[in-house]
Amino acid sequence: MKNKILSAQPLHADLGILLLRLVFGGLFIYIGYGKIEHYNQYLPMFKDYTGLGVKTSYNLVIFAEFFCGMLTRLAVIPILISMIVVVFIALKGQGFNDKHLPFLYLILTLVIFVLGSGKYSADALLFRKRNKIS
């Protein structure tokens, strides 16, 4: 066991991916739920950085955070886009101290996109059944 812990090899990559998705997805679901719960309070404070209109932009952020918080490879794309807008447009001109958390989210969405959903996911079950049927 000691050799396994000190080894450069992953202890269990699929379990690590699951943990990453659960923590990261749970965080975004929590943040998105807050935006839904306080919709009428937060909407007037929201700025339209994309040119789509305040309400449309806000609804897209809610979709990305709350509904895409389930974090499959395709669902992470709206979160990635939201974080790109935050880091490079909404916080443009601000120091890295103001951007470090959204930047971390941006990097983590890229990691999840590259890793995919892993062995322990609804996607794995769905695609396994599809491949058996074909």
pLDDT digits (tens, 9 = 90+) for 64-87: 888 887 667 778 888 899 899 999
pLDDT band at 40 (very low <50, low <70, confident <90, very high): very high
Domain assignment of residue 2, yes or no: no
In three-state form (DSSP H/G/I as H, E/B as E, the rest C), the secondary structure along the chain is CHHHHHCCCCCCHHHHHHHHHHHHHHHHHHHHHHHHHCHHHHHHHCCCCCCCCHHHHHHHHHHHHHHHHHCCCCCHHHHHHHHHHHHHHHCCCCCHHHHHHHHHHHHHHHHHHHHCCCCCCHHHHHHHHHHHHC
Domain assignment of residue 93, yes or no: yes
**What is the number of domains present in the chain?**
1
Domain of 115? Answer: 15-133
Domain assignment of residue 1, yes or no: no
Domain assignment of residue 121, yes or no: yes
